[in-house]
Structure 1
Amino acid sequence: MSMKQFKIGGVPEHFNLPWYLTLKNKEYHEVDINLRWTDYYGGTGQMCKALREGEIDMAVILTEGIIRDIINGNPSKIVQVFVKSPLIWGIHTAKNSDYKSISDLKGTKAAISRYGSGSHLMAYVNAEKQGWDTEKDLDFEVIKNLEGALNGLPEGKGDYFMWEKFTTKPYVDNGPFNIVGECPTPWPCFVIAVRNEVLENDPDAVSKILDIINATTEEFKEIPCIDQMISNRYDQNIEDVQEWLSLTEWSQEQLSEAEVTRVQKKLKQLQLIESEKPINDILG
């Protein structure tokens, strides 16, 4: 029997270590699936494009980003939550910047990886939280990815940059960034999305993949020396890793209808979508 070929994409961050471990152990081969992982440094916007173009079959992707893209015609569905705790977005400025607080950033330029990505959508969530006018007080500069921000922010390409705060922490401790505040997502942060074509043709393979990853995330925090492994692999201080582990919860369940509704309502209120879609168009 020949192996099923499957392609999955995700960000190269500590959240996705469970995928790396299951792939390294060749666990998918045991159920006749050859799952190949691609790192997407450009994040959600880049992965939405890859799903649309059939470059990948599945993605581990930010909830608000994929819901917005499905509403805008991405032929995919969410099959499960991957991380149910919020993502804690750090709001960063350059070390050499005059901006020292979130309120200083009103009306300045947010550096974003691309339109439709988490760094773009969360700038709206943050603006609304601060009571800013999302029409007048937001402006954007596209910088592609974290590296683009590390190089661009000190040169004045964008004034602030929102990214997951533990990923950027090393660059705050000894690099070009300051952190002036935080903005957690008001919903579970990462979901697993699959192209509709794949869901129709290969539902069995999809559920086998989910079974394997879920068995790993359920036990993930109990893996011996997991904090040390994350610290080494992602170049993080062990204390930061331990704090991150204490705040992060993986999930093995589908996103609830209430959560989908909450995300859609917020996207609509921020004028990031024109209208809401039926739940069945979003959840697979």
Structure 2
Amino acid sequence: MPLRVGYVREHFSSPLLQYAAHDQNKTFTLVECPGGTGQLTSRLTNDQIDVAIALTDALIAGIANGSKAYKLVGSYVSTPLNWAVITGAKSKYQSLAELEGTPIGISRVGSGSQTMAYVMARQQGWATDTLRFKVNNDIRGLIDSVNDGSTSAFMWEWFTTKPFVDAGEVRFIGSVPTPWPSWLIAAHTSHVRAPSNELRAFLDALSTYVVSFDAPNNRAGPNVTFIKETFGYREEDIGAWLETVRYPKNCSSIPEKVITDTLAALENAGVVNAPEGHQFDVKNFIDTTVVTLT
């Protein structure tokens, strides 16, 4: 059976989509998860996908908070994610400070949109136990919620939401970059569902596509064309995004510092708590038969 790979159809997924288009032996199938990382981890748990390319913080927080459904097996994007803070086109909110104590829209419990709301709260000096959330499932539900007033704002990747800003549907009132590299790869802990040899082969091949995507000659032209044709983004937005993003040279390795620094930031935000009297053991977060810590 081919690996079922869950992903979010955004510009970050371009190397993965290019790989899928050339996977002549059909070694994997793509499963789109528009609900983001919360939906990806839910589908891993519920045997709907075997592999997830998802946000670093939410994957690590899930394991830290007790999930046994998956382990980390690789890296995907090595630069931070810029989360926009978005409100309704005609809402009263003009700044992040005004959001304290208001209902924040999230895609799902445990999603990156929720984790980053905690990070924003800490940066703004709010007590995180005052945060209120409303689940809106996907980007369309989130946009509707800020415009009907059921939420004050939501957080989503900047360039993904910019077309909605350009169309006048929503407004940006700030941004919060992640204090960690943005995307990792996780797989189900069952080696029946996700055999180690198949995972290693998938990661090795994916590495060739991310390295190619990162090459200066492809950044200068072919990448722009691919993203424009696939996602319909404006060329100036594509160029601006490409200046901010980098991919790893080897998808089958994870810098240990990524896990420890993310855990420290998540602890500071109140999203996870280390075992009493102990530190987190990094090796509990990875599948040691697949990934190498560097």
Interval of TM-score (by shorter of Structure 1 and Structure 2): over 0.9
- The reply on whether 1:69 has 2:51 as its aligned counterpart is no
1:134 paired residue number: 128
CA deviations 1:49-99 (Å, max 9, x no partner) are 111122111000111111111222233111111001000000001010111
1:19 paired residue number: 16
1:169 paired residue number: 162
2:225 paired residue number: 228
Code of the residue aligned with 2:56 in structure 1: it is: T
CA deviations 1:172-229 (Å, max 9, x no partner) are 1113110011100000100011112138972111111111111011010433422122
Q: Is the 8 A contact 1:57 1:198 kept in 2?
A: no
Question: What's the offset of the Cα at 1:146?
Answer: 0.3
- The reply on whether 1:78 has 2:72 as its aligned counterpart is yes
Moved more, 61-70 or 198-207: 198-207
1:271 paired residue number: 270
Code of the residue aligned with 1:111 in structure 2: it is: G
CA deviations 1:32-53 (Å, max 9, x no partner) are x520001101111111111112
Unaligned runs of 5+ in 1: none
- The reply on whether 1:186 has 2:183 as its aligned counterpart is no
1:35 paired residue number: 28
Please report the TM-score for the alignment, with normalisation by the length of structure 2. Answer: 0.89
- The reply on whether 1:57 has 2:22 as its aligned counterpart is no
Q: Is the 8 A contact 1:8 1:58 kept in 2?
A: yes
Identity %: 30
2:259 paired residue number: 260
Q: Is the 8 A contact 2:85 2:154 kept in 1?
A: yes
Cα 1:50/1:201, change in 2 over 3 Å: closer
Question: What's the offset of the Cα at 1:126?
Answer: 0.8
Q: Is the 8 A contact 1:91 1:179 kept in 2?
A: yes
- Between Structure 1 and Structure 2, how many residues are aligned? 276
- The reply on whether 1:144 has 2:134 as its aligned counterpart is no
Q: CA RMSD in A?
A: 1.7
Unaligned runs of 5+ in 2: 288-294
Cα 1:109/1:35, change in 2 over 3 Å: same
CA deviations 1:82-122 (Å, max 9, x no partner) are 00100000000101011111112122111000110000000
